[in-house]
Amino acid sequence: MADLLLIVRLAGRRVALPAAEIEGVVELDGITPTPKAAPHVAGLSALRSRVLTVIDGLAALELGRSPAEGLLEAIVVPSGGHTYALLVDSVEDVIETARPPVRIQAPVGAGWDRVAIGMVEAGADLLLLVDPHLLISGPAAQAA
């Protein structure tokens, strides 16, 4: 059975996300800041009449902060009754993969270990498979 994967560039790395978890790709114009919210929350944005909670992918990985200026590319992820927009560097492609993901056997790098759930073959490359929900819940949730 073929699974669809969304290939994005996040924190400078090409990673795969299960396309079934993703509602769409949007360009966000303007983010309303959310003072004192969890640090990986970039703010709020509106997708037509829905409020999106914007998650800074870089901050969720504890690898820095994305700039919150101009048009921002994000993927829309419904999770736990809320809709989130996950900021990414860029969205590349949607591909099919026939092989199930394989387990990761070595550390894949600071920040990534928490969100990576496996490795998948995407064409000729082997990419990290990232769970968008783990990105959304943020670093704090892991510690708790």
Partner 1 sequence: MDDLINDFLAETRDMLQALSGAIVAWETEPGDRARLDEIFRFVHTVKGNCGFFDLPRLQQLSHAAEDVLAEVRSGRRAPDANLVNAVLAVIDRIGELVQALETGESLASEDDEQLIAALSFLPVAPAVDVEAPVPTGEVKKGMRSIRLSVDLLDRMMSGVSDAVLARNELARRLRDTERDLTVEAAFERLSGCIGEIRDAITRTRMQRIDSLFTALPRMVRDLSADLGKQVRLQVDGGDVELDREMIEMIRDPLTHIIRNAIDHGIESAEERAKTSKDAIGYLRVSARQAGNQILIEIADDGRGIDGEALVRKALSAGIISPDKAEKLTQQQRLSLVFAPGLSTAGEVTAISGRGVGMDVVRANIERIGGLVDIDSRRGEGVRLCIRVPLTLTIIPALTVSAGGQVFAIPRSAIEEILRAGAATQLDRIGQSTVVTIRGRRVPLVGLSDLLGVDAPAADSTGNAAASSPSSGGQASSSIILLKPAGGNVYALAVDAVHDHEELVVKPAAPVVMTAGLYAGTTLADDGRPILLLDPSGMANQAGIRFDDQEAENRHAAAAQAQDGPDEKSLLLFRGLDGGLRAVPVPVVERIEDVASETIRFSAGRLRVSVGGHILPLAGCTEPPAGGKLRILRLTDGESELAYGFGEVIDIRSLTLDLKPAPCPGEVAGVALIDGAQVELLDPYWLFAAFADAKPATDSDVPMVCALPTGDSWMDNMLRPLIESLGYRVVAAGEGVAADILITCADDEAETGTAAAEVLRIRSHPDLAGENDNSIYRYDRAALLDALSRGASRAVKKDG
Contacts with partner 1 by CB under 8 A lie at 30, 32-38, 40-41, 44-46, 48-53, 55, 80-82, 84, 136-138, 140
Nearest approach, Cβ of 12 to partner 1 (angstroms)?
Answer: 24
Sheet holding 13-18, edge to edge: 90-97, 3-10, 13-18, 125-130, 116-122
Pick the closer one to partner 1 by CB: 85 or 95.
Answer: 85
Number of Cβ within 10 Å of residue 78's Cβ equals: 14
Side chain identity, residue 109: G
Nearest approach, Cβ of 103 to partner 1 (angstroms)?
Answer: 28
Please report which residue ranges of the chain form alpha helices under DSSP H.
57-60, 112-115, 132-143
Number of Cβ within 10 Å of residue 143's Cβ equals: 6
Contacts of 38 (CB under 8 A, 6+ apart): 138, 140
Nearest approach, Cβ of 50 to partner 1 (angstroms)?
Answer: 7
Pick the closer one to partner 1 by CB: 53 or 66.
Answer: 53
Pick the closer one to partner 1 by CB: 95 or 135.
Answer: 135
Nearest approach, Cβ of 141 to partner 1 (angstroms)?
Answer: 8
Residues in the chain: 144
Pick the closer one to partner 1 by CB: 33 or 123.
Answer: 33
